[in-house]
Amino acid sequence: MKIEIWSDVACPWCYIGKRRFESALAAFPHKDSVEVQWRSYQLDPTLPDHYDGTELGYLAERKGMDPGQVAGMFGHVAEQAAGEGLAYDFDSVVVANSFNAHQLLHLAGANGVADAVKEALLSGHFEHGEDIGAREYLVRTGVAAGLSADEINSALDTDEYADEVRQDFAEARSLGISGVPFFVIDRKYGISGAQPSALFSQALEEAWQEANPLTMVAAGAEADACGPDGCAV
């Protein structure tokens, strides 16, 4: 079973959704048969490499949101994050374009360490005030996950994975995805948002049953069994 997750490094609900999905997957009996693929999405592709201001100021200025409303939203999101063991610090968030971070994720995926890099980028952005647009931070994050600094710099210098990132954006549009996180199971089931772990568990089980229906095998004309009227003797 394959699960594709469209997500942005700069999306607070994407980290919460990741945790909730992971909780469901950890309890899923067939988890070893599940392939997870991270897909790229950008909430604001028009952002400059770096925005000179706070997250609150960015949302108020560029999105036209009321500062008081934004502060209240931050409080609610931080509370939900804390429920998943995450320590959000919106005052320290560095607002930056996430495109190069997505390129790093594709490089990580090609080397089997996408989940480790995704986790580090989300944690760095929302919990530790790291700059996801800074080359130094991206290299440091990739190296910590086992990638080589030369390979990372080369990929970013040449935009080696830029087309793959843009293809993810295009595929999201073709699937009708307009917000993240968005989870697609076997290209049959779509789950929008950071849903409760119980809903992810239900979706995993239903998708597994559909992909792996029980096949009845007859052992013979008659066999010992029990039914509503009792057991064969």
Q: Which domain covers residue 196, as residue numbers?
A: 2-211
What is the structure's pLDDT at 233? 54
Task: Classify residue 86: in a domain, yes or no.
Answer: yes
Q: How far apart are CA 201 and CA 163, in angstroms?
A: 33
CATH of the domain at 146: 3.40.30.10
What is the structure's pLDDT at 213? 85
Q: Which residues make beta-bridge pairs with 192?
A: 182
Task: Classify residue 207: in a domain, yes or no.
Answer: yes
Task: Classify residue 220: in a domain, yes or no.
Answer: no
Task: Classify residue 183: in a domain, yes or no.
Answer: yes
Q: What is the mean pLDDT of each run of 10 residues along the chain (233 residues)?
A: 97 98 98 98 92 91 90 97 98 97 98 98 98 97 98 98 98 96 96 97 96 67 57 57
Task: Classify residue 57: in a domain, yes or no.
Answer: yes
Residue type, 193: G
Task: Classify residue 223: in a domain, yes or no.
Answer: no
What is the structure's pLDDT at 51? 86
Q: How far apart are CA 109 and CA 68, in angstroms?
A: 39
What is the structure's pLDDT at 230? 58
Give the count of domains, the chain: 1
Task: Classify residue 222: in a domain, yes or no.
Answer: no
Which run of H or E residues covers position 183? strand 182-185
What is the structure's pLDDT at 205? 97
pTM of the model: 0.90
What is the structure's pLDDT at 224? 60
> Which pairs with CB-CB distance under 8 Å and at least 24 residues apart come from 173-178?
177/6, 177/41
Task: Classify residue 216: in a domain, yes or no.
Answer: no
The strand order across the sheet containing 189-192 reads 35-40, 2-7, 182-185, 189-192
Q: Can you read off the two tokens belonging to residue 169?
A: 């954006």
